[in-house]
């Protein structure tokens, strides 16, 4: 196996992690921060999507489903129009996890560009460094 392939695989994984972080902060985090801001922590204080001024986007639907990221932390009432609230025992955890504002799209783009530059530099410099170090780290 080529070391360059391994490095590009690791960098791709990091890039995917950056995109996932943006996804969490943008779509899911915005919803959770709104619930926490209005202190919707019981069925009596639960609010609908319309009251939160949120749209049920596909990423948010995935997070709210039974196997989703918010499975036990954000609960919904059993009404025709569901109302959402934070489980009281999960409030501190959600505050810690989603306390930061959105990660900007520019930051995501910059992070991915940096990863590409690191990958290209490694691809270009690896043969030179390998020859310089006397073949200590063979490429294949």
Q: What is the pLDDT of residues 50-68, one digit of tens each?
A: 999 888 888 888 888 888 8
Contact 105, 55 (CB under 8 A): no
Our measurement of the distance from residue 6's CA atom to the centroid of its chain's CA atoms, rounded to an integer in Å, reads: 24
Domain that holds residue 110: 3-97+106-125
Number of domains in the chain: 1
Residue 137 domain-assigned (yes or no): no
Which 3-state string (H, E, C) describes 14-37? HHHHHHHHHHHHHHHHHHHHHHHH
Q: How far apart, in whole angstroms, are the C-alpha atoms of residue 65 and residue 21?
A: 19
Claim: this prediction has a pTM higher than 0.85: no
Summarize pLDDT for 121-140 with one digit per residue, the tens.
888 887 777 777 765 655 54
Residue 31 domain-assigned (yes or no): yes
Closest listed residue to residue 64, CA positions, set 87, 41, 45: 87
Residue 49 domain-assigned (yes or no): yes
Residue 70 domain-assigned (yes or no): yes
Contact 68, 62 (CB under 8 A): yes
Residue 38 domain-assigned (yes or no): yes
Residue 139 domain-assigned (yes or no): no
Summarize pLDDT for 64-85 with one digit per residue, the tens.
888 887 888 999 998 888 999 9
Residue 130 domain-assigned (yes or no): no
Residue 135 domain-assigned (yes or no): no
| DSSP code of residue 104 | P
Contact 36, 95 (CB under 8 A): yes
């Amino acid at each position: 196996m080529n070391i360059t392939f391994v490095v590009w695989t690791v960098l791709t994984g990091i890039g995917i992690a950056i995109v996932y972080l943006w996804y969490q902060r943008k779509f899911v985090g915005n919803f959770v921060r709104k619930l926490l801001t209005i202190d919707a922590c019981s069925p009596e204080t639960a609010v609908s999507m319309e009251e939160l001024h949120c749209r049920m986007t596909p990423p948010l639907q995935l997070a709210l489903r039974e196997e989703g990221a918010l499975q036990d932390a954000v609960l919904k009432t059993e009404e025709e129009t569901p109302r959402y609230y934070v489980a009281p025992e999960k409030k501190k955890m959600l505050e810690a996890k989603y306390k930061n504002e959105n990660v900007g799209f520019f930051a995501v783009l910059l992070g991915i560009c940096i990863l590409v530059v690191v990958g290209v530099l490694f691809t270009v410099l690896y043969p030179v460094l390998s020859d310089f170090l006397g073949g200590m780290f063979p490429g294949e």
